[in-house]
Amino acid sequence: MVLELAVKAATGAPDVLGDCPFCQRVILTLEAKKVPYKLLLVNLSDKPSWLLEVSPEGKVPLAKFDDKWVPDSDVIVGILEEKYPEPSLVTPPEFSSVGSKLFGAFVKFLKSKDPNDGSEQAFLEELKALDDHLKARGPYVAGEKVTAVDLSLAPKLYHIDVTLDHFKKWSIPKDLASLISYKELLFAQESFVKTKAAPKYVIAGWERKLNSA
């Protein structure tokens, strides 16, 4: 049984896997659970009619379970955990919200044109909170073992690295050493290397978003 997964195609390259961190999160989950899957690459600037029928907002990822397309990476990952409980990726509840505000703070900072609007400070506080947690718990959010929260954070940290370097010449401060080690640990995993978008597609995807903002 091969699971079908509709994911974003790269901006300007419709036959290449794109830069959606939520799509990558689902693929990383499938890889970790060794579930066979087939990717359907969707060009989000020319959405196919079948996609709009099953997801009126035209959002991906979408996974097909029992002939029904299911949207939302949170929902999809939850269903995968139920259907394929081994190996378990369940994050202990007390750690499940670690880093949950990081991506929102990053997007605000990335879009900000005013250096005094507090967005950089707010983003730094989220990075520091994650670093403090990892310093105490590490190497992963829940300790020794990768769980769902790590697979959600890995693609977001990759986007943070690539886009802030490109658009703002900004990088995570060196003194957040636990966070930097964590990031390197995640990025070195074979499944991550295999499923990440090339930096140029990450940049192209954000360029489009920033220009339409």
Q: Which of 19, 48, 83 is the last residue of a domain?
A: 83
Is residue 190 in a domain? Answer: yes
Q: Are 131 and 195 found together in one domain? A: yes
Q: Are 110 and 195 found together in one domain? A: yes
pTM summary value: 0.96
Is residue 88 in a domain? Answer: no
Which pLDDT score, from 0 to 100, does residue 51 have? 94
Q: Which of 60, 83, 106 is the last residue of a domain?
A: 83
Q: Provide the domain count of the chain.
A: 2
Catalytic site positions: 20
DSSP string, the chain: -PEEEEEEEETTEEEEE---HHHHHHHHHHHHTT--EEEEEE-TTS--HHHHHH-TT--S-EEEETTEEEE-HHHHHHHHHHH--SS--PPPGGGTTTTTTHHHHHHHHHH---TTSSHHHHHHHHHHHHHHHHHHH-SBTTBSS--HHHHHHHHHHHHHHHHHHHHH-----TT-HHHHHHHHHHHTSHHHHHHPPPHHHHHHHHHHHHHH-
Q: Are 195 and 156 found together in one domain? A: yes
Q: Are 73 and 136 found together in one domain? A: no
Contact by Cβ (8 Å): 149, 141: yes
Task: Answer yes or no: is pLDDT of 125 > 80.
Answer: yes
Q: At what angle do helices 73-83 and 148-168 cross, to 10 degrees?
A: 150
Domain that holds residue 137: 93-212
Q: Are 45 and 102 found together in one domain? A: no
Q: pLDDT digits over 38-86, tens only?
A: 999 999 999 999 999 999 999 999 999 999 999 999 999 999 999 999 9
Which pLDDT score, from 0 to 100, does residue 152 have? 98
Q: pLDDT digits over 134-161, tens only?
A: 999 999 999 999 999 999 999 999 999 9
Q: Which of 54, 83, 112 is the last residue of a domain?
A: 83
d(CA 201, CA 10): 6
Q: Are 100 and 201 found together in one domain? A: yes
Which pLDDT score, from 0 to 100, does residue 212 have? 80
CATH of the domain at 65: 3.40.30.10
Which pLDDT score, from 0 to 100, does residue 1 have? 85
